[in-house]
Amino acid sequence: MNRRTTTLLASSLSLAAALAISGCSSDSGKAADGKPELSVSGAFMPEPVNADMAGGFLIVKNGSDTADKLTSVTSPISDDVQIHETKNQKMQQVQSLDVPANGELKLERGGNHVMFMGLKSTPKVGEKVTVELHFQKADPIKVELDVKERTHNPKTH
Ligand code: CU
């Protein structure tokens, strides 16, 4: 084994050790009742292309050491709000999406998203759509999605 390989090996070993330590760290960052602390940002809905279906996008941030899952979404404008993931450019319904500890669940164009089926009304640009996010551990969070133009994509701004 030459010296360079040895150095690389040593640094990857110390990285693994550091990860292992943070992996079993204490309860710091947990709320007093043990529930993860989640916050939501950047929530929007592109104005629906057809009157029947719409997508919703947002970011759930988990500032705690406890992993959680987004398990369902409810909204006054649809009785059938689904959680979708996109794989190989095809979307499919999933039962839940992970909100990693000290990480983010990103619902964004081309990826995971909320899907509103059978819209009761057609939201227009400038309006707001209320949703309630339900989690496995954390309390439900109410969020307002800003209805944006159809091509709106925060990543390109
Ligand atoms: Cu979808």
Residue 37 CA to ligand 1 centre (angstroms): 27
CA–centroid distance, 128 to ligand 1, in Å, is 20
Q: What distance in angstroms lies between residue 56's CA and the mean position of ligand 1's atoms?
A: 9
How far away, in angstroms, is 113 Cα from ligand 1 center? 6
Centre of ligand 1 to C-alpha 40, Å, is 20
83-133, pLDDT tens digit by residue?
999 998 899 999 999 999 999 999 999 999 999 999 999 999 999 999 999
pTM of structure: 0.78
pLDDT at 140: 97
Look up residue 120 and give its two tokens: 């009761």
CA of 92 to the centre of ligand 1 (A): 7
Each residue of 24-44: pLDDT tens digit? 444 444 455 679 999 999 999
Q: How is 124-142 classified by DSSP, letter by letter?
A: -TT-EEEEEEEESSSPPEE
In this predicted structure, which of 98-107, 134-143, 146-155 has the lowest mean pLDDT? 146-155
**What pLDDT, on a 0 to 100 scale, did the predictor assign at position 155?**
76
Q: How far apart are CA 23 and CA 31, in angstroms?
A: 18
